[in-house]
C-alpha cells in the first residue's frame, strides 16, 4: 500500500523522499495557496526561495511545501492568507 498524506482532506500518495510539493505536482495539483486578494499561488522555484508554495501543515501555516518532506498521514491544507489574520 503506497504512503499517503491528506491535502484538503483528500489522500495524496507519494514516493518516500518526495517533498509535499513534489507529490502534489505529480498528482497535477499546482495551486496550494491563495493570497490576501484571493489569487492562487503554487510551486514556483521549488527550492525554498520564493515562498509561493506555503501551505498549512498539521495546523502550522507558512510551511514551504517544496522544503517539507511528505510523510504518512500528514494533514496538509491549502493556505488562504486572508484567513490567517496577519500571520502571513
Binding site residues, ligand FES, CB under 6 A:
43-46, 48-53, 64, 66
Residue 13 or 51 with smaller CB distance to ligand FES: 51
Which CB atom, from 16 or from 48, has the smaller least distance to ligand FES?
48
With a CB cutoff of 8 Å and minimum separation 6, the contacts of 84 are: 61
Please name which of 47, 36, 38 lies closest in space to residue 85, comparing C-alpha atoms: 36
What are the angstrom distances between the C-alpha of 73 and each of 5, 34, 35, 50?
A: 5, 24, 26, 27
Rounded to a whole number of angstroms, the minimum distance from the CB of residue 30 to ligand FES is 11
The minimum distance between CB 1 and ligand FES, in angstroms, equals: 28
Least Cβ distance, residue 75 to ligand FES (angstroms): 19
Grid coordinates of 18: 518526495
Amino acid at each position: 500500500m503506497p504512503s499517503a498524506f491528506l491535502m484538503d482532506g483528500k489522500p495524496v500518495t507519494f514516493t518516500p523522499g518526495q517533498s509535499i510539493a513534489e507529490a502534489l505536482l505529480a498528482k497535477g495539483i499546482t495551486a496550494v495557496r491563495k493570497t490576501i486578494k484571493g489569487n492562487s499561488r503554487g510551486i514556483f522555484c521549488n527550492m525554498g526561495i520564493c515562498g509561493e508554495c506555503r501551505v498549512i501543515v498539521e495546523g502550522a501555516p507558512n510551511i514551504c511545501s517544496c522544503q517539507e518532506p511528505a510523510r504518512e498521514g500528514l494533514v496538509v491544507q491549502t493556505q488562504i492568507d486572508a484567513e490567517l489574520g496577519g500571520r502571513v
